[in-house]
Structure 1
């Protein structure tokens, strides 16, 4: 009887953990629809959709409010910093208006090269970098609510610190984060160690007692 229990226990463990979702289940797929999390679990916010600026394995995707540094080699008059407007476009000399929202910087560089090669330059060579990321916002029960510059790796806890910390009335539990994604605005209550992304709105609630 003891031997059978010893054999059965590892088999049960394999069955249970073999079926458990892994971190990879929450990452955006390389192509096609994004994998939804298993019901009842709370993965870090942002792994259930592809927001305009979601930092995923395919690279940062540009959105409204970002500023891009564009260099056209050998053409200094075409180079400079360009802000992404409310429509998700930038406007460049000669190249005109170019749609950049939801594209990575290599994709934007190729789009600019294609536009310039059509009429103006032979074999243009373009590089694109994100000069400044769009800000995030923190509201509610913090000492100094407002908009703040985003830095990669920022968490909700660090955002609260940038906002001057909690007020005496703040609920120091879960925090409401709102993010615009490819399917519209999404809001979710998250723990303070959750990573944030450019454009996120953090709302610290008031406690009830």
Structure 2
């Protein structure tokens, strides 16, 4: 898990360079911007976007910027300075110093769940997971991303381990304001009977019965690998009891029972 977190952070840095384009950020209430006008240092100002979506700008007073990208806001302020006769040519520059309107919720099995800003306006899932400290000890391999676009909500499941190990960057998702990332809990299996450490354990990919037995600490002196049974719940809710072999692959929520040897 630590190695995966390091990969995630390294990949996030690579993605961040390519994805962060502050000019495309849409401004909203709570954002703090630094605005300046080329050749007019007395017009430089730092201001917060109000709940009504406006900023206070020198000479102009209140200017509505909520819903505009940084480039659009620069152009709108410049046009008003020219239109009202304050300048003949206004070259306005805006830097967003604090982003409060554009945030993503990272929840579930991460080390630091919470809301994180979309610094620079565009971030991917890997970057936001890294900001949240990566998966915790109960985290699995997948995350669910819930997004709302044009009034429609969609859910996408991403296999993070596959993305990192195979470099499948085409599966990365560009996030937007109020998106939600939920880090899923790792799948579990259960092993009881004559094992050293009976209980619930993380199910690794393609784990076999023999490997599951090793995770449970191996057999007790009275245990036997003969006659291992697995209780497995089907999709319809029914429970099957399966005579298992050591090479059989364990499935999510399987209950493995190791019986006592008669000899």
With the shorter chain as reference, the TM-score category is 0.5 to 0.7
**Is the contact made by 2:106 and 2:182 (CA closer than 8 Å) also made in structure 1?**
yes
- CA gap of 1:87–1:200, structure 2 versus 1, over 3 A, is farther
Q: Is the Cα–Cα contact under 8 Å of residues 144 and 157 in structure 2 kept in the other structure?
A: yes
8 Å Cα contact 1:143/1:167 also seen in 2 = yes
Answering whether residue 112 of structure 2 is matched by residue 140 of structure 1, we say no
- Secondary structure at 1:112 match in 2: helix
Scaled by the length of structure 2, the TM-score of the pair is 0.47
2:153 aligns with: 186
Residue of structure 2 in register with 1:35 after alignment? none
For residues 136-183 of structure 1, the C-alpha deviation after alignment (integer angstroms, 9 at most, x for no partner) is 33122211112334345632123222212213333432422335x4x3
The answer to whether 1:175 aligns with 2:140 is: no
Query: What residue is the counterpart of 2:236 in the other structure?
Result: none
**C-alpha spacing 1:142/1:68, structure 2 compared with 1 (3 Å):** same
What secondary structure sits across from 1:106 in the alignment?
A: helix
Runs of 4+ in 1 over 6 A off after TM superposition: none
Rg (Cα) greater in structure: 2
Q: Does 1:157 align with 2:122?
A: no
Residue 129, structure 1, aligned to residue 98, structure 2: no
TM-score of the superposition, structure 1-length normalised?
0.56
Name the count of aligned residue pairs: 151
Unmatched segments (≥5 aa) in structure 1: 1-54
Report the Cα offset of residue 127 of structure 1: 1.8
